[in-house]
């Protein structure tokens, strides 16, 4: 942050997980510095009292305390935290078999991010659906100049979810080669039906979007 103040460069902070980091970024934004940041779903859902002796709970930064989790949510609500990303890390089963101490850092998150956040933050009324879409899509697209607008004539890049469909997260069904997820066994709402990328269907559930 001191270097941003000195140089005027743009700075994006990845994997924010502590209350101290949230406050530093909040202060930088108040100063008008060009700083944005992201956190990840697991830091918003878990605290360190929920850790299990299992490699699927091993990531860097680690899961923090409940005060940190609440600070991240407060940061999202006041605009300090701009985005939510997954830090998707598809390790092999062998690499994640060493428990909390010896497993490699990282978990998979692409296939669980939206349903977990929709279930844990939107359905209880912590965030609106529009806010979650901004955090996962609109804000990153603006900051990094990526993606296509959802409008007539633009290249189709979007995903269709059934928000009323409930399912249990089963890593063995992931398309990712990595299966290590702390959300395994959790019931969530928001089933993916269709993904279109670059104007072409990249994936479609059995029965398609008409399901």
Q: Per-residue pLDDT for 6 more than 80?
A: yes
Mean pLDDT of the chain: 95
Distance between CA atoms of 148 and 156, rounded to whole angstroms? 7
- Which element (helix H / strand E) includes 201? strand 200-204
pLDDT confidence band for 206 (50 / 70 / 90): confident
- The closest of 129, 206, 122, 196 to 159, measured between CA atoms, is 196
Catalytic residue among 68, 82, 87, 134: 87
In this predicted structure, the answer to whether residue 207 has a pLDDT above a threshold of 60 is: yes
> What pLDDT score was predicted for residue 208?
56
Q: Residue 94 phi/psi, 5° resolution?
A: -65, -40
Distance of alpha carbon 83 from alpha carbon 15, whole angstroms: 10
Q: What is the pLDDT, as a whole number, of residue 210?
A: 47
- Could you tell me the pLDDT band of residue 209, with boundaries at 50, 70 and 90? low
What average pLDDT does range 98-117 have in this prediction?
97
**Pairing outcome for strands 158-168 and 187-197:** antiparallel
The yes-or-no answer on residue 87 being catalytic is yes
pLDDT band at 148 (very low <50, low <70, confident <90, very high): confident
Percent of the chain with pLDDT over 70: 98
pTM of the shown model: 0.94
Tens digit of each residue's pLDDT (9 = 90 or more) over 33-67? 999 999 999 999 999 999 999 999 999 999 999 99
Residue 211 has pLDDT above 60, yes or no: no
- Residues 141-162 have a mean pLDDT of 91
Tens digit of each residue's pLDDT (9 = 90 or more) over 115-139 = 999 999 999 999 999 999 999 999 9
């Amino acid at each position: 942050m001191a270097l941003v103040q000195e140089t005027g460069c743009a700075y994006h902070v990845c994997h924010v997980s502590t209350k101290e980091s949230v406050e530093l970024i909040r202060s930088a934004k108040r100063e008008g510095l060009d700083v944005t940041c992201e956190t990840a779903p697991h830091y918003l859902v878990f605290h360190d009292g929920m850790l299990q002796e299992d490699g699927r709970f091993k990531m860097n930064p680690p899961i923090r305390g409940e005060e940190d989790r609440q600070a991240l949510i407060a940061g999202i609500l006041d605009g300090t935290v701009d985005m939510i990303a997954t830090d998707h890390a598809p390790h092999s089963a062998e690499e994640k078999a060493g428990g909390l101490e010896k497993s490699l850092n990282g978990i998979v998150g692409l296939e669980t991010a939206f349903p977990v956040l929709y279930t844990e933050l939107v359905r209880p009324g912590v965030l609106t659906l529009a806010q979650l879409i901004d955090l996962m899509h609109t804000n990153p697209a603006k900051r990094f100049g990526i993606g296509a607008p959802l409008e007539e004539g633009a290249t189709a890049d979007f995903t269709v979810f059934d928000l009323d469909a409930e399912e249990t997260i089963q890593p063995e069904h992931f398309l990712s080669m990595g299966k290590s997820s702390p959300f395994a066994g959790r019931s969530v709402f928001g089933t993916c039906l269709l993904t279109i990328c670059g104007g072409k269907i990249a994936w479609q559930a059995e029965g398609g979007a008409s399901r």
